Structure 1
Amino acid sequence: MVKLDRASGILLHIISLPGPNGIGDIGQEAYKFVDFLCECNQKIWQILPLTASEKPSPYSGTSAFAGNPILISLEKLVDAGLLVQSDIESSRPKFGHQIEIRKVLKWKYDILNRAYKNYKNNPKKLKNEIDAFIKKEQYWLDDYTLYMAIKSEQNNQSWSKWPKELKQRDKEALEQKRQEHASIIDEHIFLQYIFFHQWNQLKQYANEHEIIILGDMPVYVDYDSAPPDSFSVNGQLWNNPIYDWTGTLRKTNFDWWIKRLKKSLETVDVLRIDHFRGLEAYWAIPMGSDGKPVPPKKGSWVIACGDEFLTAVTKALGDDLPLIVEDLGFITQEVFDLREKYGLIGMRVLQFGFGTNGGNIYLPHNYTPNSVVYTGTHDNNTTIAWFRHNAKKKEKANVIKYLQKDEDELKRNINWDFIRAVHASVANTSIILFQDVLNLEEGCQMNDPAFTPDYEENWRWRFTWEQLTQKDKDKLQSLTQICGRYIIPEEPEEETLEELLQKPPGRPIEEPNA
């Protein structure tokens, strides 16, 4: 069983960092955020998936292994001599404060292509490093880069619409495409090398400052669905294919999954598995006669191979895996039993705690030490906006009664009441939604799960440093210390003359030469 030390952290995805290039990245602002975490005595930076995606949602990945080139820092490419600053500034569109993903993708990939061409003018500069990267990552890099090259040739259509010999992976056809598109493949290799090189530098900086990176891994790669829930009465349709648990995965002893987990744990320090309940049973939506999925409500639960899978994982990677699992939503006793059998760390979200009277596992007095607790997640509205606009009448009454505050006071400061409640709980780890530290209200939610994952009104929020006041930093730092989530090292007391006289003589200090 993995146990986390008593600590706290902030949930903020990379894309929500400020900066001039339309989207947050792993450059200067990310380092500045690490410095902020240190200043406020936080120990954890929780992010969302880093895997490649061509959609607004980081949970709609085109790969389970590749990094997302859109997160590459252009300024660090300038530092590396692969761009000049005028390359960026002369072509940069006028970006609004929120992320405009289509505009960002088009412009940024043009600039990254320019960096690749500059690299090709002097390939010897990085040859040894890229050759080593290819050798280490070949098990996923070959397929990913070929896939991206063919996808570009096929006008970015889904692979299911490709010619038969390509979508059925005919060896001769694929080899021909590999030769035809050697340059495009080489560029994708270059971008993956750059991404992981920059990311590893940032992670090293964080670790050197005693900050743990808590990553996130979607259960699926690109088609999943969920039954009706508190976010959507009609259910959610995510368009991710479900796994062949009892077929190929079981026959290969879950080798693909094990490689995926191993790669993820090389990239981050601790990993959260999104929608853990899908490892015990998943909601499957059949295809209709028109070739489209039926409404989500008409799906059904199908048992997965979670026990076999986790047995194989622990045998391959060890018992003490630093894994956190999202055991939220429609959870049965079987899901909790699976989590407990393998000693995995579960989640609690305070916003979920006020729908019933007493006995609710999401209320602080019911937390357990080996859990991670949140004010809210990327799927929740900010705490202030939730209380003002989303909480039902009964939920508001329960909040007022539980926190012993009047409604007007809570409308102003409920975010800090929630932060204090999760910090003061017995849970070893508390994670604060950064929007709650910034006292943000409506319009700052990262994702609304009632919409599909690639809905363009989601995944747009970014913060500015002007929103973070010294008063709020001091308040966060103070609460963290008071609740025992950061211990300030004590200054050694100066010895008295009597104590010095009682000490045995040490080596004399030599006088400096005159």
Structure 2
Amino acid sequence: MRFDRQSGVFLHVSSLPGPHGIGDLGDGARAFVDFLAKADQSLWQFCPLGPTSAAHGNSPYQSFSAFAGNPLFVDLRDLSDRGWLTDGDLKPVPEFDPHETDYQRVTEYKRSMLETAFERFESEATDDEHDAFEAFRERESSWLDDYSLFISLKEEHDRVAWIDWPEELKTRDEGALDRARDDLEAERRYHAFCQFLFDEQWRGLKSYAAEKDISLVGDLPIYVALDSADVWASPAAFDLDENHEPAAVAGVPPQFGDSGQRWGNPLYDWDHLRETDYEWWRSRLSRLFDLVDVARLDHFKGFDEYWAIPADADDPAAGSWRSAPGYDFFETIEREFGDLPFVVEDLGFIDEQLAAFRDHFEFPGMRVPHYADWCREGDMNQPMHYPHSSIGYTATHDTDTTVGYYHSLPDDQTDCLHYNLGVDGSEINWSIIEAVWNSEAVLAMTTVPDLLGLGSEARFNTPGTAEGNWSWRCTYEGLDEGVAERLRDVTDFTIR
């Protein structure tokens, strides 16, 4: 098995406590690491870290880059400590809601602060600080140059998607790109500076977590957003037509009586990627492994076979299954990176072929009690049936909280849950936590809302909806020492 038995907690960075309207990489992040250490946990899991946009509901799964970090996560107090912001710059801080992120207000405030810090950095930073910035730009140039130009061009063109840019920019005419680099030099440098800040602060946080024996569990969406530096800068890696637009898009077919889903993400040109020894993917994973210790592979099914929907079709049923590289891809990746620290999201499409593929590489698959039929004997999502080669969750970023889920159950399912777990439902969040921790799963995970016994108001995301997601936040008071001690007791009794 790729992992020792251990446990941890999910909390996305945006949900951390802090004074500037959204979680950041400063004191709130370190307070959460301290909470995990007090609770005797080994893992901190979070969503993808990339820049998000209001146009995509601020979803971390629709980012402008698979390589860049979200500038909104930069800790402004660190910039004040370094002399690039003053107390006068930071104050008055808007009256942000400590329980919920208002992305528009946060973006306006933090963008202003980051621009001020950049101007002061340019004029007042020491030679060593400038050297560190230039060293970062050189080290990360393989993705940073394209990303900083992409974001600068988006702002130059009123933030419209790159497929709607002038033709010479859309199709990356070299002369047009050279002119844009010259015209947007200051803007490109600003966006590179924001990435420099994120990178330095993240590496500091990662070191702090390592000192506390906490491993960071990142998230790797299989697909990237169409409106991203990734697709614009590397069109050959994707299944695009002669106009640099998707020939087919990702989704899932109808199943269990539903109508399927059309996600709209561009698909990969796996033939081209195989010919290049998966160079684009190797670069992506190299950056990921720089930032995290373990990664969850989203939609693992898509590495084996994927549902391709013609780009001009609205109905997911118009798609068809296509083969992905599967074993060859992971064997190639493993030759470069060694033992791969992956867990996989394999929900909804588990068949013998996928299970064999997953088990061949010994990647733990996900099990979630919310998907259990509590009245069916041997149901795979009941914690007492989790195999050792699995990662058990009490809830995920896409499900309701455990309390919200419990209150939505029909009476027969509630009765069967009580019977199977030997509980009365009075503290259902802790009953589910204890059941997952007592399971055979090699990794056990819960969420902060489940630790606090919160209801549906604290769920992170409701799939299929565009508004009201990714906004819930924890406060410092939520990182309660008594909660940490209770989780430590459960962990010491079941995991250690």
Same fold? TM cut 0.5: yes
Unmatched segments (≥5 aa) in structure 1? 486-514
C-alpha separation in 2, matches of 1:192 and 1:227: 38
| Residue in 2 that maps onto 1:77 | 79
| Residue in 1 that maps onto 2:446 | 432
Is the deviation greater in 254-263 or in 356-365?
Answer: 356-365
| Residue in 2 that maps onto 1:250 | 274
Of the three residues 484, 487, 490, the one matched with 1:473 is 484
Q: Tell me if the contact between 1:217 and 1:271 (Cα under 8 Å) persists in the aligned partners.
A: yes
Alpha-carbon spacing, 1:207–1:229, altered in 2? closer, same or farther (3 Å): farther
C-alpha separation in 1, matches of 2:98 and 2:36: 27
| Residue in 2 that maps onto 1:5 | 4
Once the two structures are superposed, the pairs formed by residues 259-408 of structure 1 within 5 Å of their partners are 259-288=283-312, 293-318=313-338, 320-354=339-373, 357-389=376-408, 391-405=409-423
Matched residue type, 2:20: N
Local SS of the residue matching 1:373: strand
Of the three residues 174, 186, 191, the one matched with 1:188 is 191
Of the three residues 132, 149, 158, the one matched with 1:129 is 132
Once the two structures are superposed, the pairs formed by residues 178-217 of structure 1 within 5 Å of their partners are 178-217=181-220
Q: Tell me if the contact between 1:51 and 1:68 (Cα under 8 Å) persists in the aligned partners.
A: yes
Q: Tell me if the contact between 1:236 and 1:450 (Cα under 8 Å) persists in the aligned partners.
A: no
Q: Tell me if the contact between 1:387 and 1:396 (Cα under 8 Å) persists in the aligned partners.
A: yes
Task: After superposition, give the CA deviation of every residue in 1:361-420 in whole Å (9 maximum; x if it has no partner).
Answer: 22223222232111111111111110102x344432331221123xxx31x311111111
Local SS of the residue matching 2:196: helix
Once the two structures are superposed, the pairs formed by residues 437-476 of structure 1 within 5 Å of their partners are 437-451=451-465, 455-476=466-487
Alpha-carbon spacing, 1:474–1:91, altered in 2? closer, same or farther (3 Å): closer
C-alpha separation in 1, matches of 2:375 and 2:149: 52
Alpha-carbon spacing, 1:94–1:433, altered in 2? closer, same or farther (3 Å): closer
Q: Tell me if the contact between 1:9 and 1:43 (Cα under 8 Å) persists in the aligned partners.
A: yes
Deviation, 1:94, is 4.4
Deviation, 1:73, is 0.6
Deviation, 1:467, is 3.7
Matched residue type, 1:322: P
Deviation, 1:42, is 1.0
Task: After superposition, give the CA deviation of every residue in 1:436-462 in whole Å (9 maximum; x if it has no partner).
Answer: 1001012111011132xxx23111111
C-alpha separation in 2, matches of 1:468 and 1:69: 25
Deviation, 1:474, is 2.5
Unmatched segments (≥5 aa) in structure 2? 227-249
Q: Tell me if the contact between 1:222 and 1:238 (Cα under 8 Å) persists in the aligned partners.
A: no
Once the two structures are superposed, the pairs formed by residues 33-112 of structure 1 within 5 Å of their partners are 33-55=32-54, 56-90=58-92, 92=94, 94-95=96-97, 97-112=99-114
2:20 is equivalent to residue 21 of structure 1:
yes
Deviation, 1:308, is 2.1
| Residue in 2 that maps onto 1:490 | none
| Residue in 2 that maps onto 1:504 | none
C-alpha separation in 2, matches of 1:131 and 1:321: 31
C-alpha separation in 1, matches of 2:96 and 2:183: 36
- Taking structure 2 as the reference length, the TM-score comes to 0.90
RMSD: 1.9
Of the three residues 214, 236, 242, the one matched with 2:261 is 236
Deviation, 1:33, is 0.6
- Taking structure 1 as the reference length, the TM-score comes to 0.87
C-alpha separation in 1, matches of 2:251 and 2:269: 15
Alpha-carbon spacing, 1:11–1:229, altered in 2? closer, same or farther (3 Å): farther
What is the number of equivalent residue pairs in this alignment? Answer: 469
Alpha-carbon spacing, 1:229–1:478, altered in 2? closer, same or farther (3 Å): farther
Local SS of the residue matching 1:148: helix
Q: Tell me if the contact between 2:374 and 2:382 (Cα under 8 Å) persists in the aligned partners.
A: no
C-alpha separation in 2, matches of 1:314 and 1:121: 45
Deviation, 1:484, is 3.2
Q: Tell me if the contact between 2:398 and 2:463 (Cα under 8 Å) persists in the aligned partners.
A: yes
2:476 is equivalent to residue 482 of structure 1:
no
Of the three residues 160, 164, 167, the one matched with 1:161 is 164
Q: Tell me if the contact between 1:78 and 1:85 (Cα under 8 Å) persists in the aligned partners.
A: yes
Deviation, 1:86, is 2.4
Deviation, 1:238, is 3.1
Matched residue type, 1:428: V
Deviation, 1:95, is 4.1
| Residue in 2 that maps onto 1:503 | none
Deviation, 1:201, is 0.3
Task: After superposition, give the CA deviation of every residue in 1:293-342 in whole Å (9 maximum; x if it has no partner).
Answer: 50334433322222221122112222x11111111122222211111122
| Residue in 2 that maps onto 1:506 | none
Q: Tell me if the contact between 1:41 and 1:477 (Cα under 8 Å) persists in the aligned partners.
A: yes
Q: Tell me if the contact between 2:18 and 2:98 (Cα under 8 Å) persists in the aligned partners.
A: no
C-alpha separation in 2, matches of 1:88 and 1:473: 33
Local SS of the residue matching 1:443: helix
| Residue in 1 that maps onto 2:180 | 177
Alpha-carbon spacing, 1:17–1:161, altered in 2? closer, same or farther (3 Å): same
Alpha-carbon spacing, 1:324–1:442, altered in 2? closer, same or farther (3 Å): same
Is the deviation greater in 88-97 or in 302-311?
Answer: 88-97
Matched residue type, 2:122: K
2:433 is equivalent to residue 419 of structure 1:
yes
